[in-house]
């Protein structure tokens, strides 16, 4: 299956889906505080998504039981929200959210500080976010897909952090996960040629320690194998023909 090229009409719908998700993330970010449960975040996120007339795309996806993936500290991604899991001052929390608007998906993730966090943790969050921006400098029509992967890898590796390899970014559109897969680490090949109209979810997942991850017995929650902190940053972007990609999930 080839990578889909979106029409102007589809791009317009994806822009709207992206903006609403950016708004959801902004509101969730403002709401985060110690004492809140991870289920509180999920419920608020679902309410916000539905308030825009959209549908949470993660809910029931392959059996995932919530609308927002809430991953705390050494949890990398796909953390399942629980009423008993209370955020503590000094935690870091990654929120991954997505929605469907008129059949089109958006997908984005942010890592937030809960109260006051260590300088080390702040740096991990910043480097993870910046690695996305380093990657998308290469997200230009005519470049190759894995130029993005290498740019992320080079930037992150210069800090000595571990890049998660078991999970990758992806194309997105009428489905949450479309072709191509987008690794956050250097590949032997160049990958497909990028073309205007491709919509991609770029999502570095970065560990303070080693890159290896494990799965918890809930079959969803991915954790760092060495127990180190992990951060996640993701946006849905559009490849354009004028050089700069358009980031659809920022305000």
Span 203-242, contacts to Co ion by CB under 5 A: 203
Residue 46 or 107 having the CB closest to Co ion: 107
Span 106-125, contacts to Co ion by CB under 5 A: 107
Residue 82 or 177 having the CB closest to Co ion: 177
Residue 8 or 191 having the CB closest to Co ion: 191
- Which residue, among 141, 129, 248, has the nearest Cα to 194 in the 3D structure? 141
What 8-state DSSP symbol labels residue 79?
P
Detail the DSSP E strand segments found in 10-164: 55-56, 68-72, 75-77, 92-101, 104-113, 162-163
Q: What is the dihedral of CA 236, 24, 125, 170, to 10 degrees?
A: -20
201 binds Co ion (CB under 5 A): yes
In Å, what is the CA distance from 12 to each residue of 48, 104, 173, 236? 21, 10, 12, 13
* Tokens representing residue 56 in the block: 């949470």
Residue 19 or 175 having the CB closest to Co ion: 175
Total interface residues for Co ion by CB under 5 A: 3
CB of 27 to Co ion, least distance (A): 20
Q: 214 - beta bridge partners?
A: 223
In the three-class reduction of DSSP (H, G, I as helix; E, B as strand; rest coil), residue 34 is classed as: coil
CB of 160 to Co ion, least distance (A): 25
**Which range touches Co ion (CB under 5 A), out of 11-19, 121-129, 196-204, 219-227?**
196-204
Contact flags string 79-108 toward Co ion, x per CB under 5 A: ----------------------------x-
Residue 36 or 55 having the CB closest to Co ion: 55
**Which range touches Co ion (CB under 5 A), out of 25-33, 45-53, 178-186, 198-206?**
198-206
Residue 207 or 249 having the CB closest to Co ion: 249
Residue with tokens 């990609």: 245
Work out whether strand 169-171 and strand 92-101 pair parallel, antiparallel, or are unpaired.
unpaired
Residue with tokens 């702040």: 122
219 burial class (0-12, 13-18, 19+ CB within 10 angstroms)?
Answer: exposed
Residue 125, C-beta contacts closer than 8 angstroms, at least 6 positions apart = 92, 111, 112, 113, 231
Residue 124 or 201 having the CB closest to Co ion: 201
CB of 77 to Co ion, least distance (A): 9
CB of 141 to Co ion, least distance (A): 22
Span 11-50, contacts to Co ion by CB under 5 A: none
Residues of this chain that bind Co ion (CB under 5 A)? 107, 201, 203
């Amino acid at each position: 299956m080839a990578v889909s090229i979106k029409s102007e009409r589809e791009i317009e719908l994806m822009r709207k889906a992206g903006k609403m998700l950016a708004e959801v993330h902004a509101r969730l970010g403002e709401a985060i505080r110690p004492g809140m449960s991870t289920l509180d975040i999920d419920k608020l996120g679902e309410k916000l998504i539905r308030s825009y007339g959209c549908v949470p795309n993660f809910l029931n996806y392959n059996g995932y039981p919530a609308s927002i993936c809430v991953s705390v500290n050494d949890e990398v991604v796909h953390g399942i929200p629980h009423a008993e899991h209370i955020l503590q001052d000094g935690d870091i929390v990654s929120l991954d959210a997505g929605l469907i608007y008129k059949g089109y998906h958006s997908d984005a993730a942010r890592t937030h500080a809960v109260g006051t966090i260590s300088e080390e943790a702040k740096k991990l969050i910043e480097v993870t976010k910046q690695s996305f921006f380093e990657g998308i400098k290469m997200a230009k029509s005519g470049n190759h897909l894995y130029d993005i992967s290498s740019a992320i890898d080079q930037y992150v590796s210069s800090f000595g952090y571990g890049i998660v390899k078991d999970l990758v970014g992806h194309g997105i559109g009428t489905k949450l996960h479309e072709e191509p897969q987008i690794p956050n680490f250097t590949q032997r090949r160049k990958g497909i040629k990028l073309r205007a109209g491709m919509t991609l979810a770029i999502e570095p997942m970065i560990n303070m320690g080693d890159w290896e991850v494990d799965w918890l017995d809930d079959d969803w929650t991915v954790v760092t194998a060495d127990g180190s902190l992990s951060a996640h940053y993701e946006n849905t972007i559009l490849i354009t023909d004028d050089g700069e990609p358009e980031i659809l999930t920022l305000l």
